[in-house]
Amino acid sequence: MKEIVHTDAAPEAVGAYSQATTNGELVFTAGQIPLTPDGELLGDAPIAEQTERALDNLVAVLDEAGAAPADVLKTTVFLADIDDFDEMNATYADYFDESPPARSAVQAGALPKGVGIEIEAVAAVE
């Protein structure tokens, strides 16, 4: 059975999607962008700060679903510019330092709201 996950600790969706969905065993997050829960867009910030905001959002959504970073099985990182890879990776490593999940990191042609990064995850629910 599909359940919708929603928390005020992460920004509202910027389109026709849910922050996350779960079947009680797995949680699928929407791509999280550098937008604060209050709706402030950080798209012009350094990529480290954008990564931090996107991951803070991701952690908040996972927490609402009953999962933690250690439960994440796979992430996908979309970058507007693959030259930001190293800076993104350094910040990312702070969130997934032990037994990190599988990951794909790709350059996207463009991202919603003109941001530099979007990160989605699939996690096991405790």
Footprint of ligand C=C(N)C(=O)O on 92-121 (CB under 6 A): 112, 118
Give the shortest CB-118-to-ligand C=C(N)C(=O)O separation in angstroms. Answer: 6
- Residue the block writes with tokens 């604060």: 36
Select 31 or 116, whichever has its Cβ closest to ligand C=C(N)C(=O)O: 31
Q: Which of 5, 10, 33, 77 binds ligand C=C(N)C(=O)O (CB under 6 A)?
A: 33
102: amino acid identity, one letter: A
Q: Which of 9, 14, 26, 48 binds ligand C=C(N)C(=O)O (CB under 6 A)?
A: 14
Q: Which residues pair with 121 in a beta bridge?
A: 75
Verify binding: residue 58, ligand C=C(N)C(=O)O, rule CB under 6 A: no
Give the C-alpha distances (Å, rounded to integers) separating 55 from 2, 14, 23. Answer: 24, 17, 22
Q: Are 61 and 112 in contact (CB under 8 A)?
A: no
Q: Is 61 in the site for ligand C=C(N)C(=O)O (CB under 6 A)?
A: no
Q: Is 66 left (phi over 0), alpha (psi -120 to 50) or beta?
A: left
Q: Are 123 and 71 in contact, with CB atoms under 8 Å apart?
A: yes
Q: Which residue has the tokens 């693959």?
A: 82
**Using rule CB under 6 A, residue 5 touches ligand C=C(N)C(=O)O:** no
- 115 in Cβ contact with 80 (< 8 Å): yes
Q: What are the residues binding ligand C=C(N)C(=O)O (CB under 6 A)?
A: 14-15, 17, 30-31, 33, 112, 118
